Structure 1
Amino acid sequence: MPDIESFAKTNPDGVAYRMVPSGQWVTWKELEQRSRQCAAALVASGLKEGDGIAIFLENHVRYFELIWAAFRVGLYYTTISRHLKVDEVKYILQDCDAQAVFCSRQSLQDFDARVLTELPIQRVVLDGRHAGFDNYEDFLASVAPDVVLPATLPGMDFCYSSGTTGLPKGIKRPLSDANKFFAAQDEERTRWKNFDHRTVYLSTAPFYHTAPVRWNMNVMKAGGSCVMLEKFDPLLALDAIESHGVTHAQWVPTMLIRLLRLPDEEKARFDLSSMRFAIHAAAPCPAAVKEQMIAWWGPILYEYYSGTELVGRTSLDSQEWLTHKGSVGRAEFGQVHVVDEAGQELAPGTPGVIYFSGGGRFDYHKDPAKTRQAYNDKGWATYGDIGYLDEHGYLYLTDRLANTIVSGGVNIYPQEAENILAIHPAVADVAVVGVPNEEFGEEVKAVVQLRNPGEASDALAAELIAHCRSSISAIKCPRSVDFVSELPRAESGKLLKRLVKARYWPEKSQIAH
């Protein structure tokens, strides 16, 4: 159990975390005291080890206070995006069996709060008052400041998938696994996890996403300080690195692309010398983007491939990547297996479904059938991705299994074309999908968001197709291009491809795609 009490005693006025750009900060003393009272108030409300709460907030200054409270008394904490629709929020709250939900004035704005008041759940609002909700400060004041907390296992996150292929899935792991798989090993590629009191970690993403929840918590457990962006902005992120002496920062590829597209004079304004580790994950990173980032920041990029389920992880540092460009690394825990449709392991260089053995166990909450689908008859588990291993054991991702385009009996993995189109100077964002074709079943289409929407034309569409064909086989390239004002992405950076595909497939056909 991390000793947050010792941090409060030895460094009471030290900053546990600060918010950017609002400038709010929380000291160790404040975090320990308020999370203690919140934890005790939850216990007094009847929650016990193994029960759960839900957090439905923007990137709020009290967010991690709530997480620490749940952690300290063995509760599961489910973080919910405030951008979800009413029915989606209701679904998650009912599915995760949360006994309390914490909201804010902002998260309830333009949200039908009556849906929450109809649920048999304790409701708490953090700032101000709202009909049908308890006030958070009153909630804290309901217990004594020196209240003693019960001894429990540490709590942990109970996260839901972003719903990229359908309804969100609750991913639940036993409390006994709460602290596994996050420590550094005796290898250069994991050295970035050696957090201590000198660590200053820049959190760039929405708090509800799994990676910010887990890595911010792990930094604070080690006594490090977190710098948390309230909303991502590339200039704000660079300024935060310089202003606060950031040593570690975590990114997703769309953020790296936005950083690279800053004018050179803007990039040169900031002193980034404090940053020793730039970690990226969550989505495939085009090789050209990573090459440019290493050229700018030096060999400080560290990449990992994993999932909320934590059945396995691969990782690599910049030096490894430069000799295995495009790879997401070697197994860090668990062993990687690439198999065909019959479950037979494939030779190096041959794409198949990626499985891990020897990792953690999990369940898709209330869905044993879907849990069974994630495991094969050998007990190996998959995140649902396609890829291949090289002869040195380095893994390369090809695409999501659900995104595979089958055209004339040939499997096409659209990520390859997306990576090429993403670096075209006219392109802001791109999705490559399969659309109906009477002869071949499916054909490849690129759906493109332009940096300058006024440039959309047949000539630019032809240019993009030619750009793609100059790098990879024509069969993998789009036969047509549609221009859109915006592509649907989760705040985590994941492309919601099912929403793109829904435009082209009749509702009944969409089930199979």
Structure 2
Amino acid sequence: MSDLTMSYVCGTSDVPLCYETIGTALANTAAAFPDGEALVVVHQNIRWNWAEFDARVTDLAAGLLALGLNPGDRIGIWSPNRVEWVLTQFATARAGLILVNINPAYRTYELDHALKLSGCRALILAPTFKTSNYVDMLLELAPEFAGADVAKDGTRSAALPDLEFVITLGRDSQGGMLGFDGVAAGADDAARARLAAIAPDLRPDDPINIQFTSGTTGTPKGATLTHNNILNNGLFVGRIMGFTDADRLCIPVPLYHCFGMVLSVLACMTHGATMVFPSEAFEPRAVLQAVQDEKCTALHGVPTMFITELALPDFSSFDLSTLRTGIMAGAPCPIETMRAVIAQMNMREVTICYGMTETSPVSFQTRADVDIETRTSTVGTIHPFVEVRIVDENDRVVPVGTVGELHTRGYCVMSGYWNDPARTADAIDPAGWMRTGDLGVLDAQGRCRIVGRSKDMIVRGGENIYPVEVENFLMTHPGILDVAIFGVPDAKFGEAVCAWIRRAADDEGAGLTEAGVLAWCEGRIAHYKIPRRIRFVEELPMTVTGKVQKFMMRQAEEDGAVA
């Protein structure tokens, strides 16, 4: 590729897009690798090959149709990482149902919003997890499901009138709820015949999934994705990692999010690679144990996951020699953390991905053969069949090397926000460009660097400050484990730079003071970028996917809620 002059790139590939449904793609993988290991769920003691997995998916898909569900109906899943989640992901796709991903961290208000917005006819939920009792929370909204046999007598909830079927993970039904295992067992000949009859009418462009945006600001929106969107994104993510049927991926990221569902699960399925789930939710020791025991070749995670794994006191006792690749994504990747992952975890081909839920999600990814500087300072180059432009405030493409808002177009862009045409029109322009809200800059070789969110940029006395730049610098201090930079109101300069810092769990961290941080900055970064307000905290407020919720920190500072 010749050097760029303007900030526009378009990805190409010698492999075409895969224009088929997810159900068909799974059947093809099972036919190609019937005896290959499809998934290992450590905490449930499950180990299935692709032929077994495909058969179980068919059973569940037919069982869901036997309940009376129809293609296009929405079915929610509210659960941590379990084998039932993966089965449901593929069974709904095979039956033409639209899977609604519900964050396991949601509580009643958020659950109510998700179910009402999507109009779910069915909900699959874990009974409990840790301190969360999902059944009790649902019954708080819809008490009718406590005793009535809702599926048979037609009882509806006044609060959730669309909801007809509640399915709890496990074998037995309770009250008005069905047991998950019983649904698959109910796949009779008529349901199987109906499933076979439905298949020819399913289209790759059909909506198949609703994923709610993380809600770091505002009410979560339901990004509506098609087979074509997520199947191809998983395919090319896997290709860039060099996946084959010999690879084994450890998946500690949540399935409800694009990272787990697409970058992990669909990347494996499209290449016949093995999915390894170490635990229901992230547990750093369980991750390293699974990598060692299952001889994983790849590992996924958000930066905070890798930071926590590396910080385990007995980290060096685990054999991670089989690792070669993986993905660090979901949040800006601190440069020093990336270097440690390559050097200490043997992930010499680790990649960084950039994208958003609304773009299925990946649009940029680093390649395995690029130099260490590129892999630690950029999010790589454009994905196949994806276009990106960097524009100014008037949507004019800017020259390379100029910061602007990143727009994305191509097969990966969602069909829209479910039942929300106004916000869809705000997000996608008439030419099909998705406005990401992220600030980025392209170099002449087409490599992209993300400098922050347009709303996160700090303007101090006319100077533009990009938080990621300051965060990356501070992460070079040996006593800093993690840091978040954001702006707070300032009477003189308009905004001031504020830093929330997690100290490292060693002598360097224990002795770190505000004066020490300022001394580290002095003479190394421009004076206007040096934090004027510093807080040492035990944790940073985050979403389940590891995105730092800076609006919460900013609000706490403005309210005086931090000492």
TM-score if structure 1 supplies the norm length? 0.88
1:113 equivalent in alignment to 2:104: no
Q: Secondary structure at the match of 1:62?
A: helix
- The aligned counterpart of 2:100 is 78
Deviation of residue 95 (structure 1)?
1.1
CA distance in structure 2 between the aligned counterparts of 1:98 and 1:61, rounded to whole angstroms = 22
**What is the CA distance between 1:86 and its match in structure 2?**
0.9
Matched, 1:34 2:56: yes
Q: Given residue 175 of structure 2, which amino acid in structure 1 is its aligned partner? A: A
Within 5 A, what are the aligned runs for 1:364-443? 364-376=417-429, 378-443=431-496
Partners in 1 of 2:393 and 2:138 — Cα distance? Answer: 47
Conserved? CA contact 1:192–1:248, under 8 Å: no
Q: How does 1:3-42 map to 2 (within 5 A)?
A: 4=26, 15-28=37-50, 30-42=52-64
1:46 aligns with 2:68: yes
Mean CA deviation greater in 456-465 or 116-125: 456-465
Question: Is the Cα–Cα contact under 8 Å of residues 453 and 485 in structure 1 kept in the other structure?
Answer: no
Match of 1:123 in 2: 166
1:220 to 265, 269, 273: 269
Preserved contact between residue 478 and residue 508 of structure 2 (Cα < 8 Å):
no
Q: How does 1:164-243 map to 2 (within 5 A)?
A: 164-184=216-236, 191-214=239-262, 215-230=264-279, 231-243=281-293
Which whole-Å deviations, capped at 9, do the CAs of 1:62-109 have from their partners, x for residues lacking one?
A: 111111210111222122122112101111111122211001221561
Partner residue, 1:511? none
The CA distance in 2 between the partners of 1:448 and 1:298, in whole Å, is 27
- In the superposition, relative to structure 1, how do residues 496 and 476 fare at CA in structure 2: closer, same or farther (>3 Å)? same
8 Å contact kept, 2:31–2:51: yes
Change (3 A) 1:500 1:157: same
Q: What is the number of equivalent residue pairs in this alignment?
A: 501
**Distance in 2 separating the partners of 1:372 and 1:280:** 31
Structure 1: distance between partners of 2:286 and 2:273: 21
Secondary structure of the structure 2 residue equivalent to 1:246 = coil
Residues 178 and 257 (structure 1), Cα distance of their counterparts in 2 relative to 1, 3 Å cut: closer
* 8 Å Cα contact 2:35/2:50 also seen in 1: yes
Decide whether aligned partners of structure 1 residues 321 and 92 sit closer, same or farther in structure 2, where only a CA change above 3 A counts. Answer: farther
Deviates more, 1:84-93 or 1:144-153: 144-153
Secondary structure, aligned partner of 1:32: helix
Shift of 1:183: 2.8
Residue type at the aligned position of 1:235: R
Name the amino acid aligned to 1:307: M
* Amino acid in the other structure paired with 2:183: F
Task: Assess, with a 3 A threshold, how the Cα gap between structure 1 residues 301 and 137 changes in structure 2: closer, same or farther.
Answer: closer
SS where residue 399 of structure 1 aligns? strand
Task: Indicate the larger mover: 453-462 or 408-417.
Answer: 453-462
Paired with 1:359 and 1:10, the residues of 2 have a C-alpha distance of 26
SS across alignment from 2:541: coil
Instruction: Give distance in 2, aligned partners of 1:10 and 1:373.
Output: 43
* 2:105–2:544 CA contact under 8 A, matched in 1: no
Gap change, CA 1:323 and 1:52, over 3 Å in 2: same
Other-structure match for 1:301: 350
* Gap change, CA 1:223 and 1:466, over 3 Å in 2: same
Report the equivalent of 2:15.
none
Cα RMSD (Å) of the superposition? Answer: 3.0
Instruction: Give the unaligned 5+ runs of structure 2.
Output: 1-20, 146-156
Out of 10-19 and 245-254, give the one that drifted further.
Answer: 10-19
Distance 2:255 2:29 in 1: 23
Secondary structure (helix, strand or coil) at the match of 2:397 reads coil
Q: Offset at 1:386? A: 0.6
Q: Deviations over 1:336-391 (max 9, x none)?
A: 32222122222222211112244533212222232222235654223211111112
- What TM-score, normalized to structure 2? 0.80
CA distance in 1, matches of 2:49, 2:334: 39
Change (3 A) 1:85 1:195: same
8 Å contact kept, 1:299–1:319: no
Higher relative contact order (CA 8 A, sep 6+): 2
1:59 to 66, 72, 81: 81
Residues 259 and 142 of structure 1, relative CA distance in 2, 3 Å threshold: closer
User: What secondary structure is seen at the aligned counterpart in 2 of 1:37?
Assistant: helix
Cα deviation 1:213-265 (Å, max 9, x = unaligned): 113134134433210122323333222222112122212211222233345xx
Q: Answer whether contact 1:78 1:96 (CA < 8 A) is retained.
A: yes
Counterpart secondary structure, 1:290: helix
> Which residue identity lines up with residue 124 of structure 1 in the other structure?
I
Unaligned runs of 5+ in 1: 508-513
In the TM superposition, what whole-angstrom CA distance separates every residue of 1:302-343 from its partner, at most 9, and x where no partner exists?
A: 222122222761122254242434111111232332222122
Determine the structure 2 residue equivalent to 1:492: 545
Structure 1 residue identity aligned to 2:192? V
